Structure formats: structure tokens, C-alpha cells
Amino acid sequence: MEQKKFDFKEIQGREERLAPGHRMCAGCGGTIAVRNVLKALHPGDKAVIGNATGCLEVSSYMYPYTAYEDSYIHNAFENAGATLSGVETAYKALKKKGKLTENYKFITFGGDGGTYDIGLQSLSGAMERGHDMVYVCYDNGAYMNTGVQRSSATPMYADTTTTPTGKVSDGKPQTRKDLAAVIAAHNVAYVGQTTFIGNMKDLYTKSEKAIYTPGAAFLNILAPCPRGWKYDAPDIIEICKLAVETCYWPLFEVVEGEWILNYKPKNKLPLEDFLRKQGRFKHLFKPGNEHLIEAFQAEVDKRWEELLFRCQA
Amino acid sequence: MAIKERMSGNEAVSHAIGQINPDVMPAFPITPSTEIPQFVSTMIANGEIDTEFIPVESEHSSMSAAIGSSAAGARTLTATSSCGLALMWEVLYVAASNRLPIMMQVVNRALSGPININAEHSDSMGARDSGWLQIYAENNQEAYDNTIQAYRIAEHPDVKLPIMVCQDGFITSHAVENITLLEDEPVKAFVGEYNPEHYLLREDETMSVGPYALSPFCMEAKRAQAQAMMNAKKVILDVAKEFEAISGRSYGFFEEYRLEDAEYALVAIGSACGTIKDAIDKLREQGMKVGLLKVRVFRPFPGEEMANALKACKAIAIMDRCEGYNGNGGPLGAELTAALYRAKATAEVVNIIYGLSGRDVTVGDIEGIYEKLVKLAEGENLFGTYPYLGLRSR
């Protein structure tokens, strides 16, 4: 698809599709993700927004108030993919029967719990069937709405309420699932992994591609949660930058099966720069736990090398 | 002109679906309802209808996609049985509370376990409190007729609730019987276009569906939903009257078979009613005043009307093709007994569990029940404390 030159002022000047006044926490990464993805809808284009149960849903559509300027549907926790696939199919059916003339886009949001875990089957089905829709995961790496329980997106060693650190526990024992790769293996039209960097150009560009590429698209957005990650809320942009500069969260896309690396740090920073600012990794910096950081670093390095190979970068 | 045909129950409801030509059908295969999405897919493949079929990866997604489709403004249906219905459980409530008039063909089958594919009502009975309308059929003709009436009931502005159209697995769904079909045009005219008031894809407005609601609002929403279920009673009878005008076949909440002067009655749902009618005819020849109340509409539950129809009976056997696992009987037994108590009925009542997992029911079995009902009315209980029909003793 053709993309116009990124014009920060024009884009940020577009009408808000996520209205202010919702009840998300100050500094919430999920909200930044939603607001900016919706900015990528071209002005005047109609959309139906979907949503899995989670922080976003209970805070943005609390009866009788909705924060959505577009039509919006929440169904349950694990079925955002299937639900929006039903909406998209209804659109096709009504259009075919001449009951609808305007064009609509279909975008659904889920947290990592609703996407990596309980909603994975529903997401996989919707992607495999190739509905013309975008599934956006705002990945904050745990079940934040219910109080910071681990998910399969939680990074290794993170202290969560179901992988608490203790005398015999170093936090989450497993590494995180690479969901973007899982969805890319569905041979969908577009997969993008991004986060909040600089003037949001990467997020905008990928959102626009995801929305306007015909077929199924998936966006994985690292969306820090100040409560769950235990950092000072204003530090969110720095934390996202460190996630990318340490190669914990590489920026890449998969277009029609081709893996493309969008950013390669000149000086790959040590992982501990990303970990140090977050209370959930505090225990890793206790004397005697150096081997845990080493193991985590080795995991990040291994995945980075795999990605470089896939992207032939 | 009525069309004489021979069809299975699955073929019959699929024929009705073809005549209605709904907008969207998500479905997942499960025995014995699988044939319905197969028949619909074939009609689509042959260009006979232009329904959009979504081959979902599970029944949970089937109902989830149906909810999305219906909320978006499309006339939507799905079909399932047994464990498939069980997998939908969570979102059945979402469909009903969002007031989405989805039609679901339920081909009744036992829930696991042991895994069993035959007729039983445990699947839809388990979903009896999910907020869906439920209409049951004795045979292929009724399954066809109920399908044609379903959207008219579900989509009515006073109702706006999803509807289950139920038939017995294999006995009805797969057995081929004679049937009288309506022509396409009168069916299309009867069902009409679906023009909802509010929906996601309405171009001149936006709407939000599926809110989080706090206690100050939730209870009112649930009461309004309960009202819709109550409103459905009038709508079901009105639609039945209109259907009679085009088909000559009359329907109500239930069918009374030789019940008017009956002293001993059975109350049952589904295909076993055919067997019961045969037994009644036989016993009537011998001078016994026996009858049947065949339940068609279970949701809304026409308790008052049923109690009224049974008021002259001396003894009643309420037949449940569903175990309640409560040590007290089945769901029809519980609800009808409560209704009879409220109506101050004086009949002796027994609740019998029968036909589980497709266990055969014979005319002889039914005759035996009527004979025991006579004794029960005389004060002698030959049923025991927890009667099962046709249970092997070893």
C-alpha cells in the first residue's frame, strides 16, 4: 500500500476517536496505544472498534458513558477475534445486499491476557480465515486488570502476583511467548511489532499499514503499565526506548511473509538498563543474582539473533 | 400450494433456512447438527442463497461471531448440539443480554460424559436460564414450521431475544418422514426483511455494545430483559396465528392431545410425544381417560397456562429427558410442579426421567406409566421415590 509522508502535526491534529474522560490510569500504555492506532484511521473513514474484556474495556465503556466516537463492541474476554470477524462478515453481507454503501474498517483491541492466552484460539481462527480486520494487542505483560497475574507474555523473572519472588522463587520461570511470530506463521497480510518511540512514527506507520492492507493484520504493541511494572509513570517513553535499544522489544514487521527489521541499534545496550527502572525486576539486582540477569540477557540475545536471521539483516 | 416431500429434520430446517436466506451463519461441526451447516454451505456453493458462512474454529467462536454479526445489523443464525452448546455457555448470556435476535438450531444430544451422540435434552435444558427463547419440535414438520416462525418472534420489537429452535438428535434430525413444505414466496413474505432499529453499521449513527455496568444500572437491565421474555408470550401466539393463516397448521405454547377430559396426563417434550400419542390412542380404545400435554415453548415458560390445561387431572407424570443431578428430578418436573402448586392443583404428580442418551421409549413403556398413574390417584405409589423409565436392573 502507498503511504503518505509522515506528518506529525497533521496526524496529531486529527479528531480524537478515543474521547477524553475515560477512566484509564494516568500514564497507561494501553491508552496511548489505542489513541494512536485510531489516529491512523484516515479522517472521514468509518470504523467499528472491538475490545476484549480487560482494563481498557471496563474503563472506556462504563454504562452509560462510552469513550468511543466510532461504533464499538465488547463481547467477552477470549473472543475479540471471533466477535470482530462476525462484524466484518456482517459488513460484507449487508454491503452485498445493498443495505450499506459506506466503507468501514475493523479494529479490535485486547491486552496480552486476552490475546496471548485465553483469546489465542479465537484470534488464530480470525487470522487464518483472513477477515479484513486488525487485531491490536496492547501488551503490558501481565493480567493487569485483575491485579498483575502472569501471562504467557510476561517476561522471565518478572515478579507478578502469581509468580511472586520469594525464598525459593526468582519470579516467572518461563520466557515470554513470541506471539508476533505465531501470528506471522498464519501467513496473514500484515504483522507489525512496535512501541512508543519518538514522535510515534513507527506506531503510526504500522497502524496505517495494518488498517489499510486488505486482509487480516496483527499489531503487537509494547504498552507499559506503571502499576504492574512498578516504575515512575512519567518514565514510560524512556522505558519503551530502552526496550528497543536493548533489543528486548525489536521493531519489525512481516509483510506477505517477508520479515523486515525496522530498527537496528548502533550500540545494543545491556538488558539490565531496561530492567533496572522496573520494580518487577528489583530482585535481579540483589547480590548473588547476577546469573539471572545473564540468563535473561542470553535469552534476549538468542531471540535477537533469530530475528536478524529471519530479516536477513 | 403446499409441497409434499420426504425429509429428515436437519433437511427440513435447512430448507427453511434456505427459504429465509439469512445474512450470516457462523458454525462449527458437531454431531448430530453438522448436517445443517453442510446443507447451508451447499446452498451457498450452488448460488441458491447468498448467506455469508463463517467456518469458525470452535462453537465459542461460533456464538461470538454470531453476536458480532447480529450486533452489526445482520440476520444471523448458527446450529449446534451437546458439547458445542456447552462451549457457548458464557456467550449465550451475552447474546441475550445484548438483546440480539440470533436463531440457533439446537439438535438435542446428551452432554458428556460418557460421551454419547444420541437424543437427550440436557444440552438446551442446561441453557434454560441463559435468556434465550426455546421452542421444541416433535417431528420434522414442527422443526420446519418453528424455524419459519423463529425470527418473527425473536426480532419483534417487544422481544428482541435470541431463540433456540430445538429438535431431537437422530430421532428427528436424521429420520426421514413425510413433510408438507411451503413455497418460497409465502415464507419470504411471512418472515420479512430484517430492519433493526440500532446496529453497529448504521451509517447515520454510532453505537457501543457490551458495556461494563455498575450496580445502579445492572439490575434494571436484567429486569428489562426479563420483561422481554414475558412479552414473548403474546408474540409467540400472534406469530402462530399468522403462520396458521399461510400453512393451515396451528401452534401454541403446547399441544393438548386428548387432554380435555383426561384424568391421567403425561407432560413431555420432543419426539417421544409421538410414542405417547400412540399409547393414548390404544388406552382410549380401552376406555381410559388419558391425555398428553406436549410442551412446545419452554422459554418463556407457560406455567400458568399449563397448570390450567391440567387442572382436571387426577394424576400427572412429568417426563424429563434430562437428569437434573439434584436428587429431586428434572427441570420440566421442577418448573411445572411449582406452577401446579401456585395454581392450587390437586393432582398427584410424579417426575420421571426417561430416554437419556437415546434410550428407546416404547408404547408399552408409556402404557405402564398410565397404569401406574391410575394407582397413584388411588393412593398407591408404584413409581418409587425417584423413577427412571426403562432403566436396566442389571
Distance (Å) from the alpha carbon of B77 to chain A's nearest alpha carbon:
11
- Closest of A122, A39, A113, A111 to residue A80, by C-alpha: A122
> Does position A88 have pLDDT exceeding 80, yes or no?
yes
Question: Among B247, B275, B293, which residue terminates a domain?
Answer: B247
Beta strands (DSSP E) in chain A are: 46-51, 61-62, 65-66, 71-74, 104-111, 134-139, 165-166, 169-170, 190-194, 217-222, 252-255, 258-261
The predicted model gives B274-290 an average pLDDT of 98
Task: Say how many C-beta atoms besides its own lie within 10 A of residue B232's C-beta.
Answer: 23
Residues 6 or more apart in contact with residue A120 via CB below 8 angstroms: A182
Same-domain check for residues B154 and B190? yes
**Is residue B314 domain-shared with residue B215, that is, in the same domain?**
no
CA distance readout (Å), B233 to B156, B158, B297, B305: 12, 10, 9, 11
Mean local confidence (pLDDT), A57-83: 97
Facing B91 at nearest CB: one of A57, A71, A79: A79
Let me know whether B54 and B97 are in one domain. yes
pLDDT of residue B385: 85
Asked whether residue B390 is domain-assigned, the answer is no
- pLDDT above 80 for A17: yes
β-strand partners of A255: A190, A258
Enumerate the residues of chain A whose CB falls inside 8 A of the CB of residue B207: 71-72
CA distances to A58, A220, A232, A249 from A302, rounded to whole Å, are 38, 20, 30, 13
Report the domain count for chain A: 1
Q: What is the pLDDT of residues B359-394, one digit of tens each?
A: 999 999 999 999 999 999 999 999 998 899 999 988
B150 occurs within a structural domain: yes
Cβ neighbours around B311 below 10 Å, total: 13
Establish if B391 belongs to a structural domain: no
Last residue of a domain, one of B202, B228, B247: B247
Identify the pLDDT of residue B193. Answer: 97
Q: Measured between beta carbons, which residues in chain B are less than 8 angstroms from residue A48? A: 72, 200-201
Residues spanned by the domain of B220: 3-247
Choose the closest CB to B68 out of A83, A104, A129. Answer: A83
Residues B288 and B272 in one domain: yes
| B352 strand-pairing partners | B319
Residue A3 lies in a domain: no
Instruction: Check whether residue B324 and residue B261 sit in a common domain.
Output: yes
Q: Residue A127 is part of which domain span? A: 8-311
> For B61, which of A99, A102, A125 is closest by C-beta distance?
A125
Residue B1 pLDDT greater than 80, yes or no: no
Number of structural domains (chain B) is 2
Q: Among all residues of chain B, which has the CA nearest to that of A65?
A: B211
Distance CA B97, CA B75 (A): 17
Contact B96, B225 (CB under 8 A): yes
Place of cell 441475550: B96
Q: Compute the mean pLDDT over every residue in chain A, rounded to the nearest whole number.
A: 97
Q: How confident is the model at residue B210 (pLDDT cuts 50, 70, 90)?
A: very high
- Select the residue of B74, B76, B212 nearest A61 (Cβ to Cβ): B212
Q: Where are the beta strands (DSSP E) in A23-182?
A: 46-51, 61-62, 65-66, 71-74, 104-111, 134-139, 165-166, 169-170
Confidence of residue A1 (pLDDT cuts 50, 70, 90): confident
Of B37, B26, B33, B163, the C-alpha closest to B107 is B33
pLDDT of residue B12: 98
If asked whether residues B116 and B201 sit together in one domain, one would say yes
Mean pLDDT, residues B216-225 taken together: 97
Mutation test of the interface with chain A: which of B57, B76, B198, B203, choosing the one with the most A Cβ atoms within 10 A?
A: B57
pLDDT one-digit tens code per residue, B87-143: 999 999 999 999 999 999 999 999 999 999 999 999 999 999 999 999 999 999 999
> Can you give the pLDDT at residue B394?
83
Residue A76 covered by a domain: yes
pLDDT at B51: 98
Number of residues in chain B: 394
User: With 0-12 CB in 10 A as exposed, 13-18 as middle and 19+ as buried, what is A63?
Assistant: middle
Residue where a domain terminates, one of B194, B218, B247 = B247
One domain, residues B95 and B215: yes
Q: Does one domain contain both B275 and B363?
A: yes
Mutation target to probe the A interface, by most A beta carbons within 10 A, among B209, B214, B220 is B209
pLDDT digits (tens, 9 = 90+) for B289-343: 999 999 999 999 999 999 999 999 999 999 999 999 999 999 999 999 999 999 9
pLDDT of A2 over the 90 cut: no
pLDDT (average), residues A135-157: 98
Q: Name which of B57, B91, B209 is nearest A73 (Cβ-Cβ).
A: B209
Q: CA of B216: which chain A residue's CA is closest? A: A63
Question: What average pLDDT does this structure show over A70-82?
Answer: 98
Residue A313 — very low, low, confident or very high, per pLDDT cuts 50/70/90?
Answer: confident
Backbone angles phi, psi at B250, to 5 degrees: -105, 140
CATH number at residue B260: 3.40.50.920
pLDDT of B240 reads 98
Domain assignment present for residue A256? The answer is yes
Q: Is residue B341 part of a domain?
A: yes
**pLDDT, tens only, A91-107:** 999 999 999 999 999 99
Q: Give the CATH number, domain containing residue A263.
A: 3.40.50.970
Please list every residue in chain A whose beta carbon sits closer than 8 Å to the beta carbon of residue B211: 61-64, 66, 74
Is residue A298 within a helix (H) or strand (E), and if so which, with residue range? helix A290-311
Contact B23 A93 (CB under 8 A): yes
* Inter-chain CB proximity A89 and B74 less than 8 Å: yes
C-alpha span between A193 and A203 (Å, rounded): 9
Q: Is residue A243 pLDDT above 80, yes or no?
A: yes
Asked, for residue A110, whether it belongs to a domain, the answer is yes
Residue A74 has pLDDT above 80, yes or no: yes
Mutate to test the interface with A, among B50, B64, B194, B217 (most CBs of A within 10 A): B64
In a domain, A91, yes or no: yes
Which of B56, B76, B201 lies nearest to residue A100, judging by beta carbons?
Answer: B201
Cell digits for A172? 516467572
- Amino acid making up residue B320: D
Residue A1 counted as domain residue: no
Q: Are residues B216 and B272 in the same domain?
A: no
Is residue B346 assigned to a domain? Answer: yes
Instruction: Give the type of residue at A67.
Output: A
> Across the interface, do B23 and A79 touch by the CB < 8 Å criterion?
no
Q: Residue range B274-295: average pLDDT?
A: 98
Inside any domain, residue A2: no
Q: Cβ–Cβ of B91/A76 closer than 8 Å?
A: yes
In a domain, B147, yes or no: yes
CATH number of the domain that residue B24 is part of = 3.40.50.970
Residues of B near A (Cβ–Cβ under 8 Å) read: 23-24, 26, 50-52, 54-58, 60-62, 64-74, 76, 90-91, 94, 200-201, 203, 206-214, 217
Q: What pLDDT was estimated at residue A3? A: 87
